[in-house]
């Protein structure tokens, strides 16, 4: 069952080498992602998008405020799936073993992972090692692994940015299929505006620093979606116009 993701009054700073003062990335930042909702976060490089994802994953802790995953009855106990820019597979384990390890760690029947390998069209590669696969195939394994834990929440950190556009397009459709099967709550960090429009229920555009929400765009199209729908190109243009507006004062300065 899906659970919410909530950032409440978050502060986060980093101390950089030779810097005279800490770099403030987030200050009193709040965002709630409803159960079953997929939210894409877009903004300039270095604005704090990946920091938000790392905070949600528990890879970093806030200086102030709270990050909650789950629901009111069971906060912080939601099963979590993650997909990174790189697949991060164990190269000394077979494809099937990579999936099984994730399922075992979550206490989920391995059968789900094996069904997901079939769903991502890699059932015949269960005994292959990751180094024998193409980049797109490895990322398909990473998707299957993330969903093999039957996640309530899925975090996606630019999952297709290292792939060519044709492969990335196919994997976006595959991700949509997996989302329809399991309907988790999701946070997607991406620089790809069309990807955000196609995959997300809501797009959050960040400005700053420190990061702040400058605009939210709801995507009303029901799933399954057609990536050629003109509505997504219109949203893409809206996002670009907002990002260009953020950059204009910096250029003027």
Residues of the chain with pLDDT under 50: 76, 253
Report the 10 Å Cβ neighbour count for 187: 26
| The overall pTM is greater than 0.85 | yes
- pLDDT tens digits, one per residue of 3-53: 899 999 999 999 877 767 788 999 999 999 999 999 999 999 889 999 999
Helices (H), 4-158: 49-57, 95-106, 110-119, 135-147
Contacts of 17 (CB under 8 A, 6+ apart): none
pLDDT of residue 246: 81
Q: What is the mean pLDDT of the chain?
A: 91
Residue 53 in tokens: 């994802």
Hey, what domains does the chain have and what are their CATH numbers?
4-78+152-252 (3.40.50.300)
Angle of helix 135-147 relative to helix 95-106, nearest 10 degrees?
20
* Region of 9 on the Ramachandran plot (φ > 0 left; ψ -120 to 50 alpha; else beta): left
| Assigned token pair, 11 | 């502060």
Query: What pLDDT score does 251 carry?
Result: 56
Which pLDDT does position 76 carry in this prediction? 46
**Cα Rg of the chain, angstroms:** 19
């Amino acid at each position: 069952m899906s659970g919410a993701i909530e950032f409440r009054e978050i502060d986060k700073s980093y101390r950089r080498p030779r810097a005279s003062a800490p770099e403030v990335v987030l200050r009193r930042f709040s965002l709630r992602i409803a159960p079953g909702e997929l939210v894409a976060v877009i903004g300039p490089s270095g604005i704090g998008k990946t920091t938000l994802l790392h905070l949600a994953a528990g890879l970093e802790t806030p200086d102030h405020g709270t990050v909650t995953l789950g629901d009111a009855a069971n906060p912080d106990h939601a099963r979590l799936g993650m997909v990174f820019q790189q697949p991060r597979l164990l190269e000394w384990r077979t494809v099937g073993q990579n999936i099984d390890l994730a399922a075992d760690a979550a206490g989920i029947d391995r059968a789900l992972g094996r069904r997901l390998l079939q769903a991502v069209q890699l059932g015949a590669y269960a005994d292959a090692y990751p180094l024998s696969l193409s980049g797109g195939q490895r990322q398909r394994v990473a998707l299957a692994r993330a969903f093999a834990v039957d996640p309530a929440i899925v975090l996606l950190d630019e999952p297709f940015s290292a792939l060519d556009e044709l492969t990335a397009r196919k994997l976006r459709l595959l991700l949509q299929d997996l989302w329809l099967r399991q309907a988790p709550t999701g946070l997607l960090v991406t620089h790809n505006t069309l990807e955000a429009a196609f995959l997300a229920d809501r797009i959050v555009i960040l400005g700053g620093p420190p990061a702040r929400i400058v605009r939210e765009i709801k995507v009303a199209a029901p799933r399954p979606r057609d990536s050629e729908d003109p509505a997504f190109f219109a949203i893409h243009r809206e996002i670009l116009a907002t990002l260009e507006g953020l950059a204009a004062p910096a250029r003027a300065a």
